[in-house]
Amino acid sequence: MTDGGGPETIGAAAQALARALRAAGGETPEHDARLLAAAAAGLSREDLARAPETLLSGDAARTLAGYRARRLACEPVSRILGVRSFYGRTFRITPDVLDPRPETETIVEAALEVAALEGWRERPLRVLDVGTGSGCLLLTLLAELPRATGSGTDVSRDALRIAAENAVRLGLGDRARFDPGRSLAPRDGGIVEQFDLLVSNPPYIPSGEIATLERPVRDFDPRLALDGGPDGLDVYRELTAGLSAVVPDGWVLFEVGAGQADAVAGLMRASLPPARLRTLRTWRDLGGHIRCVAVRTQV
């Protein structure tokens, strides 16, 4: 509301929210405020920039007040709005799925690099995403590799529902399948499905470190998507045990946390006879940290 008790403009509301977020120590107060104010008013950021004098309705003002309280409680803007941009596409997220991070785009870049190296862009390709969450890895790869089909697995059925919804919304529903589970155990009838490319961003935070994470992660990401066991490597051990059967002749790419690259590479090496391991590579994210560890298997 304005000092005179009348409706507030969207521009003034955004400025007021930015001041509150800045005072609370927010890293990107102006950006966050514009996003939240525009969303509360049902406008785009471009609309806000073009017409900052647009008056907020009572409903919009109440919605923005709720957004303000949530953001001041350190809830990420992506959580508040229920969407996250990832590799140029928008994914719906809920409290049931990990909020995709920009660092995870390193896995996409690595996968597209090996796909080009192998000549996979020109032929059908089967992709498996273990721990798919919102489906951002699998669906991004299917969108970038138009002849690919894929499967996403997750231990959370709620996450699988969100991933399936994202697939339909992105026009990829006929090329993606989502199944419960996490291990690489045989499917119904004892049949081991085989894939050309396996990607995974598994839980890799050591259990004892979760309480020390920053609030936006600790309080708003599902623990199931964070907790990697006592040393953070439990899921890697589970997945590497089945690599040779599931990806007999292709690439396996794992996202890893800080300081985990050598340990995960060791698990990959130990899981494959020397004759089955052609190449082991790593990729760094934009911050210079090793973010992806990958192995090329061969028959």
Find out whether 12 and 55 touch, Cβ atoms under 8 Å. Answer: no
Q: Using 50, 70 and 90 to split pLDDT, how confident is the model at 188? A: low
Q: Using 50, 70 and 90 to split pLDDT, how confident is the model at 51? A: confident
Residue 242: per-residue pLDDT = 84
Tell me which of 133-147, 187-201, 264-278 is least confident. 187-201
pLDDT at residue 1 tops 50: no
Q: Using 50, 70 and 90 to split pLDDT, how confident is the model at 6? A: low
Average pLDDT, the chain: 94
* Distance from C-alpha of 214 to C-alpha of 64, rounded to nearest angstrom: 24
Q: Using 50, 70 and 90 to split pLDDT, how confident is the model at 102? A: very high
Q: Using 50, 70 and 90 to split pLDDT, how confident is the model at 2? A: very low
pLDDT at residue 34 tops 90: yes
* Distance from C-alpha of 143 to C-alpha of 71, rounded to nearest angstrom: 32
Q: Which two tokens stand for residue 239?
A: 């997945």
Q: Whose structure tokens read 């940290």?
A: 289
Q: Using 50, 70 and 90 to split pLDDT, how confident is the model at 191? A: confident
* Distance from C-alpha of 240 to C-alpha of 272, rounded to nearest angstrom: 9
Dihedral sign from CA coordinates of 75, 80, 86, 91:
positive
Residue type, 12: A
Q: What percent of the chain has pLDDT over 70?
A: 96
Q: Using 50, 70 and 90 to split pLDDT, how confident is the model at 47? A: confident
For residue 262, what is the enclosing H or E element?
helix 261-271
Radius of gyration of the chain (CA): 22
Q: What's the gap between Cα 272 and its chain centre? A: 28
Q: Which two tokens stand for residue 179?
A: 């199944």
Tell me which of 65-69, 182-186, 246-250 is least confident. 182-186
Three-state DSSP class for residue 255: strand
